[in-house]
């Protein structure tokens, strides 16, 4: 879980310990699949560490981080100030369940969307809304990138993921590690290709959907 970066309370930055471990392997995927220009929408950007790390590496993409938690929005902007990247935009509040993409007033066409460690810590309706809204807003050939743990054919890929799901459901029964087939079906319904599936460290996967 995210922790205060500065225990004295002098800094709004939050820290998610997993970020330092996964950001480089995620970047190795993103550098080969993200489009060369347009807007990238990061949904549930959390602490903002990923935004601050990735945006300076993709200087032709306008990187729009969003979240629904006010403390996360403050953290994103604090990390943004530290990153000093002209293409990393100020954080915006965006709830994929209730908000329309129009509220973001994107200046460049939506060419990519990114959601890291989201759909297992939220109800299934969030995954449905994510595909529906991003699918409707993306340009043809646009990328939707998802990262996190998944089941395959209804089976966990590791004992640790099964234990993790138990912890998730203890917090909220609506949460849980999603089955890759069910997620792929959402993509198909929303006008995406079947995803490229790339196994990642710590029993996670990268799913790369392309808009038809």
pLDDT at 129: 98
68-100 pLDDT tens trace: 999 999 999 999 998 878 899 999 999 999 999
Total domains in the chain come to 1
Distance, CA of 66 to CA of 209 (rounded, Å)? 20
Instruction: Tell me if 136 sits within 8 A of 110, measured CB to CB.
Output: no
Give the position of tokens 């196994």.
199
Query: What's the CATH number where 140 sits?
Result: 3.40.50.150
172-191 pLDDT tens trace: 999 999 999 999 999 999 99
Q: Which of 169, 170, 174, 161 is nearest to 201 (CA)?
A: 161
Query: Using the 8-state DSSP alphabet, how is residue 207 labeled?
Result: E
* pLDDT > 60? residue 6: no
Q: What is the mean pLDDT of residues 141-156?
A: 97
pLDDT at 208: 98
Distance, CA of 40 to CA of 144 (rounded, Å)? 9
Domain containing 171: what range? 3-210
Alpha-carbon distances of 157 from 25, 115, 193, rounded to whole Å: 19, 21, 23
Q: Where are the alpha helices (DSSP H) in 34-174?
A: 49-54, 70-83, 124-137, 159-171
pLDDT, mean over the chain: 94
Query: Using the 8-state DSSP alphabet, how is residue 104 labeled?
Result: G
Q: What is the mean pLDDT of residues 98-124?
A: 96
Alpha-carbon distances of 145 from 5, 19, 27, 64, 112, rounded to whole Å: 27, 16, 12, 14, 8
Return the SS3 of 67.
Answer: strand
């Amino acid at each position: 879980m995210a922790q205060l970066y500065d225990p004295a309370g002098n800094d709004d930055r939050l820290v998610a310990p997993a970020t330092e471990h996964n950001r480089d392997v995620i970047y190795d995927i993103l550098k080969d699949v993200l489009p060369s220009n347009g807007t990238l929408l990061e949904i549930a950007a959390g602490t903002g560490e990923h935004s601050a790390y990735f945006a300076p590496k993709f200087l032709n993409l306008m990187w729009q981080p969003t979240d629904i938690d006010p403390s996360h929005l403050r953290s994103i902007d604090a990390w943004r100030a530290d990153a000093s990247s002209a293409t990393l935009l100020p954080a915006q509040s965006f709830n994929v369940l209730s908000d329309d993409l129009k509220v973001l007033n994107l200046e460049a066409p939506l060419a990519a969307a990114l959601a890291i460690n989201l759909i297992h810590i939220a109800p299934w309706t969030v995954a449905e809304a994510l595909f529906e809204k991003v699918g409707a807003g993306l340009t043809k050939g646009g990328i939707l990138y998802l990262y996190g743990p998944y089941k395959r054919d209804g089976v966990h890929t590791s004992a640790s993921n099964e234990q993790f799901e138990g912890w998730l459901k203890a917090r909220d029964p609506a949460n849980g590690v999603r089955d890759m087939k069910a997620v792929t079906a959402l993509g198909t319904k929303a006008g995406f290709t079947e995803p490229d599936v790339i196994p990642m460290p710590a029993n996670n996967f990268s799913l790369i959907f392309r808009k038809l």
